A and B are shown apart, each in its own frame.
Chain A
Amino acid sequence: MTRRTEFLANGTMRLALHTLADSSGASDDSTHPLLLLHGLGEQSPASRPAWTDAWPGAVLALDFTGHGESDVPLGGGYMPETLMADVDAVIAEHGPVTIVGRGLGAWIALLISGARTASVRGVVLADGSGLFGGGPHPPSPYVTVLGPGDGRTPDPYALIELSRDVRPPDYALDYLRFALEESELETPVVVAARIRPDWLVAIAADVSVAEAPLVEAIGSFINPQLASR
């Protein structure tokens, strides 16, 4: 199908959410959407990626703030935690989702899985741009001021700020714990990434986290095993 785009309110800005595939039909719980989150400086794919073919529900793809067809804020101020709110806007509009995040999108997927546990039915953490951020410790100090942008994406401030945010492993583990304590899934986080920054090493090492190639990882959330509580 041709990509269909809707715009979600994000304060005074708009977020572009693309439908890459409609649900294949059945209206049971497994048909909730699969949401794709792109990497740093990227944008949503123009069409459904082949690795999502098995997913029975709709396939959605979000352009983060300052990326793709989403609006660009004045003066930057990007934090992964505010991009988490972008995903939350999708959840508010479309309900529960399973998420595949690439690079930066993987980090955001982990955060939102811990923050909105009831609405995130599994996340797959995949390789991509922006997976490392600024590393586990603050990078060398650097401050620069750019002129007012022209509204084009990707926003240079997004590229600067989201490649320098600190991602300590214990902070990542906090969000994993949030997810594990409340998720209805037995294994709500699956690592498909082969490149492993420190935060992802810590996540993958947790006994409650699975590792699998991308297609298999997505497949694990089609009929997932529920947690026994």
Chain B
Amino acid sequence: MPDNDQMRSYPGARPPDRTGHIMSSGLRLALNEWGAPDAPIIAMVHGGFDFSRTFDVFAPMIAEAGWRVVAWDARGHGDSDHAQLYSWGADVRDHMAAITTLSDEPIVLLGHSKGGGQLLDLLDARPGLARAFINLDGMPSQFSAPDINDRERRRMRRADVAAALDRRRRRNELTRRPDTIEGLAGRRAPMNPRLTREWLEYLVTVGARHDAEGWRWKIDPLLHLGGFGPWRPQWSMDHLAALDLPFLGVLSGVQDDPMGWKSRRGDIEPFLPPGGQLEFYDDIGHFLHIEKPRFIADLVLEFLGRLP
């Protein structure tokens, strides 16, 4: 364990009230909970390269309003097992394993970014799992880079594939690079340029592991941003259109946030399920619930308050 002087606090951040795990086809997924155990459940699914402790400020706000907030780490992330294989579909299946372990009844689901996109897939296949769905900037509309010609775009993707193969060849040698708390926070900052250094340093102390050489992120070093394989934003939009339950979508309009999905209101509105609510904020970045936790929590609680 690190010394106390190596830990960090952050205003409003609260460790989970309970920790545990669920099993998904033999893989152990770490589980964190805030709020009364007998309160109605809202499950929160984090985004790519995040982990459930990134809800340390937002989740307590929801819990204090009378909800049992449950969040788990995706395979290879946080304290969950590293897997031999990773895929979008496997994550979706892990979410289903977690949700069905938590409850036999429909629960409220909230997903951020990739987590929101994966819940769109899951709920199209298994609508009975949820009584309502909140999607925080996890609604893709386009990934095009119109300033890159086709030939160059192919080369970029080819380089991505070659890099992924190289990484798998070296898989048994890969480790996360050790650093100080400040150093690790600084390396994450380009992914989260709108979040404070104080928050990022706090994240290190709950999302990294300390050993003799320093701090290392827990995420499987095999994982990388982006992934590859055929994928079209329209496929996710079809899932959104197929939803038939209370829905709140929240979009970040900040176009230069590197992790953002950059969808505009007009991209998403045609696919909203009947009665669905869509909010768009051009002054909040992709990590809406971290950048403006009180504001987003109030928005979510207002939506939850209208549920039958």
**Interfacial residues, chain A to chain B (CB-CB below 8 A):** 9, 11-13, 65, 73-82, 84-85, 88-89, 92, 114-116, 137-138, 141-149, 157, 161, 164-168, 171, 174, 177-178
B158 at the interface (CB under 8 A from A): yes
Residues of B within 8 A of A80 (CB): 229
Query: Are A168 and B84 CB-contacts (below 8 A) given A74-B25, A75-B90, A143-B92?
Result: no
Nearest chain A CB to B231 CB, angstrom units: 8
Query: Are A74 and B161 CB-contacts (below 8 A) given A88-B169, A174-B154?
Result: no
Residue in contact with B94 in the complex, picked from A75, A84, A115, CB distance below 8 Å: A75
The SS class assigned to the A binding surface is loop
Nearest chain B CB to A84 CB, angstrom units: 7
**Interfacial residues, chain B to chain A (CB-CB below 8 A):** 23-27, 75, 81, 83-87, 89-90, 92-94, 96-97, 100, 121-122, 124-126, 154, 157-158, 161-162, 164-165, 168-169, 171-172, 222, 228-230, 232, 235, 238-239, 242
Q: Can you list 25 contacts pairing A with B, beta carbon distance less than 8 Å?
A: A11-B168, A11-B222, A73-B83, A73-B85, A74-B26, A74-B27, A75-B27, A75-B93, A76-B85, A77-B87, A79-B87, A82-B85, A82-B168, A116-B165, A137-B235, A138-B235, A138-B238, A141-B239, A141-B242, A143-B93, A148-B26, A161-B87, A164-B89, A174-B157, A178-B158
A73 pairs with B24, CB closer than 8 A: no
Residue of B nearest to A178 (CB): B158
Known pairs A76-B89, A78-B85 / 5 extra A-B pairs, C-beta < 8 Å: A13-B84, A77-B90, A138-B235, A161-B87, A161-B89
A74 pairs with B93, CB closer than 8 A: no
Query: Are A11 and B171 CB-contacts (below 8 A) given A75-B26, A81-B228, A145-B24?
Result: yes
Residue of A nearest to B91 (CB): A77
Residue in contact with A145 in the complex, picked from B93, B154, B168, B238, CB distance below 8 Å: B93
Counting chain A CB atoms within 10 Å of each CB, the highest count among B124, B125, B158, B238 belongs to B158
